[in-house]
Structure 1
Amino acid sequence: MNNDTLRHPWQLVAEREISTKLRDRTFLGSTAFMLIVVLAATIIPALISGMGGKDKIAVLDDSGARIVAVADAVKGGDSYEATRTTDVASAEKLVRDGDVKAALLPGEDGFEVLGKQRVDTELQDNLREAAVNLGMEANAGRVGMTPEQLRAGTQVQERLLDPGPLPEVVAGFVNIGLALIFYITALSFGMMIAQSVVQEKESRVVEILAAAIPIRALLWGKVIGNTVLALGQIVVIAVASLIGLMVTDQADILKVIAPVAGWFVVFFVLGFVALAGLWAVAGSLATRQEDLGSTTLPGQMILMIPFFFSAFAGAEAKTVASFIPIASSMSMPGRMLTEHVPLWQPLAAIAILLVTTVLIIRLGARLYERTLLQTGRKLGYREAISLKAS
């Protein structure tokens, strides 16, 4: 054993945690489950977007309807159909309500394609090709025209009513997916941490460890070891999501997700470290595996309530939750994918979360020291706080 290891006994605990978990079926099973969830979150939206029959395109007149018909022929038929409307305002309403895929409206030099958040690239290309073909046919009937005149009135431009970082359906799935990744990872690792502490107490191994290593080093070893494992799991999941996006031809979404991924890692680490300390305390309060149902309940509630807020609450509730510690780890990265968030907001949320994490870890370390060697009976949180340090 080298001097560096002697100076950092938490490394021994961290290495033991990592090697034990890598051989644990529960850990491997949770990783496999997370892979399935993230693949579903990337593949299902693509499947949904490809269902539902023909895409409806709102038009104002016969010229627009002809372009849609030609675009449908370009696509191979049975893909697009024109929906007549009376004016631009009506077309905008149809687009905003989701009743049509897009609208083809008269523009300054031809037509413009109107979308809500984005216009499918293939749809826009097909409409542009149809407009060019029909325009050239009409212009070719005239004599003595230049190539520029021949193509006049065939430009198709894009205009979005409510541009966002991601398509609405995809953003919803990704938002829930990020929150679910944090929730399941923190919950599964948290229960494993608590169970590990109880097992060591039941087998009296903790007394041997505490005689050789400071109790706080035991805590830090468990927290750091499981944090490394959790981040490794996230990397594996990220690779799986990348594969899912590439398979479903959604690689352009990576341009939006990539900048947010770094923020997610920061929020994840801070939130996970704080919760890991609490889970370790939950294990130290128990004396048997059966006690974990009550000692881990506060940790489960701290995770469950923010998850439902970040995944299903309205915009205002999500904004508030994105500044609340722990909840911000699930809410803020999702907001950054679904709306334009000013830079100061994630920075402020990180600062609040960092302060909270430090306070929780300090409190958790004190409770862990006071309760880890208490093996006679299960302790409550109030009793643990009132205990004097040994």
Structure 2
Amino acid sequence: MSTKKILIRIGSLRHGGAEKVLITFLKNIPKNKYQIDLLLNLKSGKYLSEVPDWINLFYLNEGEMITTNKPWEIPQKAYRKIYQGILKLFPKLLYKFILKKEDYDIELIANHSLLQEVLKSPVKTSKKVVWVHNDLFSIPEYKPNKLIKFFKADKIWVISDKIKDDFQKLARNSIEKEKLIKIYNPIDSDEIVNKAKEKIEFDFSEYQEKTFVAIGTVFPQKGFDRLIKVHKKLLEEGLYHKIIIVGDGYDFIKIKNLIKKLNLEKTIKMAEFQKNPYPFLKNTDYFILSSRYEGYPTVLFEALTLKKPIIATNVSGVKEILHKGELGMIVENSEDGIYNGMKKFLTDSHIPDQYIEKMNKKELPFSLENAVNSLLKILDNL
């Protein structure tokens, strides 16, 4: 039996959850089991160096992501957009001159935003797979008429029960329902524990007070603006604590300005992008997920692995990961919900201690080997 040829597409290999999951998967595939081409829209990101050497890497553009509109950046930003737009409009050019092949068995997009790219592929015989990492039903621009187009793919991989249920309700027949596959994202717990022990250039000695850490790309989805406003309110009530936000993104300056506007520079630290965020989990007291929506927030697995008490808004995937609140506090998806959760942690130390006790007693609900083997079996059966 010939080796399957697989094309995997993703925007970049920056520090997002989808990127981390993809790299973990690729690193754990047996070498030479498949012929894999990995195509990036932008060759950039912390995970580039972790791509296995047996995987063929292609890209449309290279360099860092441009998130601002500074005058000197506009020409390059415009060039990238036009160039990628042309290749999207005329995909045969991409397959002929960049990939130089049109005989893939499977084409998989690891980011839902590339749906049209995979559907317009000139390789008519390949199986088209869409890996959905976000709760698209909670994103305003994803209306039913847009979401229904996902059923044009051969398979839709979803990462939470909620996302699968929502797609099933949208499906028009049993054939479309059968396209949905619930998968488990591979998480390397040993890597998390080992990296958490590494020394980084950050002075944690300044954080003797109870400290919450939030980790994620800085944009509206993550709700850091809500977290900051709640922090201000709790301080005004005399509940002193600190917050560290780890990550960057196009909302970074806006969030930093909000911190300055509310005079919170002494109690909130924007740690920016960190190649290794795990020491922040290890060296702070609590982890908080303030997101407005998610797909399956793998950062919660990382916090569980390091036995960190968790407060999380009730977004997709949270109930599954935290076992309906047994392993962490699930709060209403609002400022009030975040406020109530943080206040409980700050006023009653027994609450976070009880979560640690439960985490220590319970086997964590994921396995790297099982998740990878499950994905390999799905690919083999396509």
TM-score (norm 2): 0.25
Higher relative contact order (CA 8 A, sep 6+): 1
How does the TM-score come out when normalised to structure 1? 0.25
Q: Which has the higher strand share?
A: 2
Structure 1 or 2: more helix by fraction: 1
